[in-house]
Amino acid sequence: MKFYGTIFKKLILLTVFLINSIVSFAQNNPSHDDILWVAEPNHKDWLYKLGEEANITIRVYRYGVLLDAAVVNYSIGEDMMPEEKQGKVTLNHGVATVPIGTMNTPGFRDCKLSLNYKNKRYSYHIKVGFEPEKLTPYTKFPNDFKSFWDDALKKASTCPMVVEREFVSEFSNDKINCYLLKIQSVQKGHFFYAYLTLPKKQGKFPIVISPPGAGIKPMNPSKDLFYAENGFIRLDMEIHGIRPNLDAHTYSEISKAFGNKNNSYLVNGLDDKEHYYMKGVYLSCIRAVDYLVTLPEWDGKNLIAQGGSQGGALALITTGLDKRVTACAANHPALSDMARYKINKAGGYPHLFTTFEGMDTPEKLETLEYFDVVNFAKLIKVPVFMTWGFNDNVCPPTTSYIVYNTIQSPKEALITPVNEHWISLETRYNIMDWIKTTLK
């Protein structure tokens, strides 16, 4: 594995859009905040041996000046689990040391920090790992896993391919053309939408298919137009059959109808693997591949699945299901070892056993086995690139490591410990650069 920091090196017009989207996510140090936290584990890679004691040095700044004599409260527990101990330290010239403790089994410990200053509460957290390369899945691999999906793919392939394609000038420029597609999926009358971006120059090009992150929300391809500008055909999907260019208010109303808690599409039909909502989603990703390989601009050799969070999960799933995929790049994949909460350990997004009600039933647990990323990871035979951060509470590092450890094909990891649920612009380009190394 390689260890990289996250610094920006390529400033283009996308930067403003990307920074705005990153900042909107929960971060340890929100932008435009007076207080800055810096936490430094006593191991520079934030990793420890089992039984080894870890500690962190914390520094707190206000206006860039070390904050002295303030009291910092801390609580410590395993990744995504309840706290095990609490304590407090007083900053001495803005600096203090917090004992994290150790673990006797592979995993992560999370140290949550807070202080009250001038009637306002500030918080931060940091996770360190203990031999996470030894983490293994809790989720079992069903004996009929492969036959279940082979049968589903066979049935879905009988659905006629129907595609509507319209030019989108908003995302086209002197180098690329963009089209909005409406593609019939696993049954007649069932559609999904996608943005297709193509280089304008003549030639044959590799394809990158990118499924979406979680939720029901507007989408557009703007942050990844650089793929087409660098000689890739790219498809950015949505999965719900809802036009991606509807206004945010309309999407908000739709999301409230079937996107929250026990109304969420992520639990719709979970009692029955044949009728679980995500079955159609997974098969739609394969239908997208069916369409992409018909494009006359394709080079006929290279087809890469790439995505983040739920999109990272769907990229890995598509790679496991479809031999036409030649490589996969995924950041902090969701839907990974989701039932791990059953043993009081961190499980993957959407955190069914802590966020939803009534999920712990034999029927739901059985269905999860057929839809968990860790089981698709066992089918992957092509090169894989993964990247994730330690401080992520959406797709925790525990489950990212489990997926990575499960993959047996050639693989490479870019570990960015400080990251929460985001990646930098530099990392986006690193992913594309890695993809280029896989091209035939």
Q: What is the pLDDT, as a whole number, of residue 187?
A: 86
> How many angstroms separate the Cα of 55 from the Cα of each of 80, 128, 249, 284?
19, 9, 46, 47
Asked whether the beta carbons of 123 and 114 are under 8 A apart, the reply is yes
423-427 mean pLDDT: 96
Tokens of residue 297, six digits = 């601009």
CA 19 to centroid of chain Cα atoms: 18
Give the pLDDT confidence of 375-414 residue by residue, as tens digits.
999 999 999 999 999 999 999 999 999 999 999 999 999 9
- Going by pLDDT thresholds of 50, 70 and 90, the confidence category of residue 15 is very low
- Going by pLDDT thresholds of 50, 70 and 90, the confidence category of residue 327 is very high
Task: Report the distance separating Cα 248 and Cα 161, nearest Å.
Answer: 30
Residue (of 232, 431, 263) closest to 332 by Cα position: 431
Tokens of residue 73, six digits = 């409260």
Q: What is the pLDDT, as a whole number, of residue 12?
A: 32
Q: What is the pLDDT, as a whole number, of residue 255?
A: 85
What single DSSP character describes residue 211? -
Asked whether the beta carbons of 88 and 71 are under 8 A apart, the reply is yes
Q: What is the pLDDT, as a whole number, of residue 8?
A: 33
Q: What is the pLDDT, as a whole number, of residue 16?
A: 31
- Going by pLDDT thresholds of 50, 70 and 90, the confidence category of residue 257 is confident
Residue (of 305, 303, 301) closest to 329 by Cα position: 305
109-138 mean pLDDT: 97
Which residues are bridge partners to 329 per DSSP? 306, 385
Q: What is the DSSP string of 4-71?
A: ---------THHHHHHHHHHHS--SS-TT-SEEEEEEESSTTSEE-TT--EEEEEEEEETTEEPPS-E
| Packing angle of the helix pair 362-371, 277-292 (nearest 10 deg) | 10
- pLDDT at residue 13 greater than cutoff 80: no
Task: Report the distance separating Cα 388 and Cα 129, nearest Å.
Answer: 13
Tokens of residue 139, six digits = 């989720």
Tokens of residue 262, six digits = 């026990």
- pLDDT at residue 439 greater than cutoff 50: yes
What percent of the chain is predicted at pLDDT more than 90?
88
> How many angstroms separate the Cα of 355 from the Cα of each of 108, 246, 281, 394?
21, 28, 22, 12
322-348 mean pLDDT: 98
Asked whether the beta carbons of 235 and 328 are under 8 A apart, the reply is no
- What is the chain's mean pLDDT, rounded? 93
Give the pLDDT confidence of 62-100 residue by residue, as tens digits.
999 999 999 999 999 999 999 999 999 999 999 999 999
List active site positions: 309, 392, 421
Residues in Cβ contact with 283 at an 8 Å cutoff, skipping those fewer than 6 apart: 152, 153, 156, 185, 186
- pLDDT at residue 218 greater than cutoff 80: yes
Q: What is the dihedral of CA 414, 314, 391, 53, to 10 degrees?
A: -70
Task: Report the distance separating Cα 243 and Cα 238, nearest Å.
Answer: 8
- Going by pLDDT thresholds of 50, 70 and 90, the confidence category of residue 261 is confident
Looking at per-residue pLDDT, the higher value among 16 and 413 belongs to 413
Q: What is the pLDDT, as a whole number, of residue 1?
A: 58
Q: What is the pLDDT, as a whole number, of residue 151?
A: 98
Asked whether the beta carbons of 345 and 138 are under 8 A apart, the reply is yes
CA 103 to centroid of chain Cα atoms: 26
The pTM of this model reads 0.93
Residue whose pair of structure tokens reads 């699945």 in the numeric block: 305
Tokens of residue 34, six digits = 């007076």
Burial class (CB in 10 A: 0-12, 13-18, 19+), 395: buried
Q: What is the pLDDT, as a whole number, of residue 265?
A: 95
Go through the chain and tell me how many residues it has: 440
- pLDDT at residue 7 greater than cutoff 70: no
Domains of the chain from N-terminus onward: 34-134 (2.60.40.1930), 145-438 (3.40.50.1820)
3-state SS class at 225: helix
Looking at per-residue pLDDT, the higher value among 33 and 394 belongs to 394
Lowest mean pLDDT among 88-97, 246-255, 281-290, 407-416: 246-255
> How many angstroms separate the Cα of 352 from the Cα of each of 53, 336, 339?
32, 11, 8
Give the pLDDT confidence of 183-203 residue by residue, as tens digits.
999 888 899 999 999 999 999
Q: What is the pLDDT, as a whole number, of residue 28?
A: 79
